[in-house]
């Protein structure tokens, strides 16, 4: 897949026109639903669903739990476009393809992007079921060359060297904290640094201790690529991580982390936390 011809501006405009042809909605808010968090899109009213597979030459999600579709409609009176299913480097997609939906959102008029994900908790003060407001990230995949902006710059979206010191909008983060307090969520709301690795293998304890030393509070296999693309387009970003498991930092602990364990958390006792996360996102959108 790395050797595929990159999407041109015309390709991206064609995707946007296809979506426009299927709905009269004009979204200004984008939402990327992470693993186990697709239920938020189910709350969208007057919705139009567009399968990724119906869009010519558009990628599709291959990950269990990702529906691989756009849901466009009204949420708290605002027009939104939700990605129910995202793309990952570990699926074999190059970064420039992963960021394509965000660029399409920009062409559709999206000004604010909500990104959600499931992440492993590195910070020992965190608990499974917590929600972390991302204040900064460590983009290890970008550092290793998997940056969506490599190659010729698309000036129509943004500058060659975009600033990332304000990747996660400070005003939106403040609003998230205010709403969390109003809703009584302070006991499980955190704010911290998210680290992205490629996956699909989970990290070794040594790797996790390295991330901990570098200041990471949580780790996952998504998000940073889309955030870089969004900021390049001038889209404001707020991102929230659902802490689905606590990372294993001791090589001698004899513990094993499985995907099944993570999905059990999503569907089990912490489903209330997931519902709280959805309520929080909806309320933030209501205040925009």
Q: Which CATH superfamily is domain 9-287 in?
A: Nucleoside phosphorylase domain (3.40.50.1580)
Domain ranges of the chain: 9-287
Residues in the chain: 288
pLDDT tens-digit readout, 99-153: 999 999 999 999 999 999 999 999 999 999 899 999 999 999 999 999 999 999 9
For residues 154-172, average pLDDT: 97
What is the pTM (predicted TM-score) of this model? 0.92
pLDDT tens-digit readout, 24-45: 999 999 999 987 677 888 889 9
77, with CB counted inside 10 A (0-12, 13-18, 19+), is: exposed
pLDDT tens-digit readout, 230-285: 999 999 999 999 998 999 898 766 666 656 555 555 555 456 777 888 889 999 99
CA contacts within 13 A on the Cβ side of 69: 14
pLDDT tens-digit readout, 150-161: 999 999 999 999
């Amino acid at each position: 897949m790395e050797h595929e011809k990159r999407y041109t501006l015309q390709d991206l405009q064609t995707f946007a026109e296809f979506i426009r042809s299927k709905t009269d909605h004009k979204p200004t808010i984008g939402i990327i639903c992470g693993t186990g968090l697709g239920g938020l899109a189910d709350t969208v009213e007057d919705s139009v669903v567009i399968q990724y597979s119906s869009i010519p030459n558009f990628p599709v999600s291959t990950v269990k739990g990702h529906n691989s579709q756009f849901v466009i409609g009204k949420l708290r009176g605002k027009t939104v476009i939700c990605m129910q299913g995202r793309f990952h480097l570990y699926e074999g997609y190059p970064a420039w393809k992963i960021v394509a939906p965000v660029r399409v959102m920009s062409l559709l008029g999206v000004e604010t992007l909500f990104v959600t994900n499931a992440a492993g908790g590195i910070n020992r003060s965190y608990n499974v079921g917590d929600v972390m407001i991302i204040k900064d990230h460590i983009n290890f995949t970008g550092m290793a060359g998997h940056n969506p902006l490599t190659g010729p710059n698309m000036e129509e979206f943004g500058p060659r060297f975009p600033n990332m010191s304000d990747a996660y909008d400070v005003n939106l983060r403040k609003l998230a904290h205010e709403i969390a307090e109003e809703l009584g969520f302070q006991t499980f709301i955190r704010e911290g640094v998210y680290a992205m690795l490629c996956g699909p293998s989970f990290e070794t304890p040594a790797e996790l201790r390295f991330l901990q030393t570098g200041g990471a509070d949580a780790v996952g296999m998504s998000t940073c690529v889309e955030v870089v693309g969004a900021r390049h387009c001038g889209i404001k970003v707020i991102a929230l991580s659902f802490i689905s498991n606590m990372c294993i930092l001791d090589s001698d602990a004899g513990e094993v982390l499985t995907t099944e364990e993570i999905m059990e958390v999503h569907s089990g006792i912490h489903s209330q936390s997931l519902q709280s996360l959805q309520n929080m996102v909806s309320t933030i959108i209501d205040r925009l």
